[in-house]
Amino acid sequence: PVGHMDPPVWEKVLAINLTANWRLLRSMDPLLRRSDAGRAIFVTSGVTRGVFPFWGAYAASKAAL
């Protein structure tokens, strides 16, 4: 269930695990494009493949990544 989670907590988890990665990629985009073999590798979690009560925000942020 995710109804127990306060909206500020949900937003913070997504900001750290998803939005921060998007901002990093956006910042590095010019360098990646100039590189002959520019790559960005993001690490997700096994929590995206199971059912883990009360891990909703974390699982959603890692699945989105």
Q: Which of 58, 60, 62, 64 is catalytic?
A: 58
Dihedral sign of CA atoms 34, 35, 36, 42 in order: negative
Cβ atoms of residues 47 and 65 within 8 Å: no
16 is catalytic: no
Q: Which residue numbers are catalytic?
A: 58
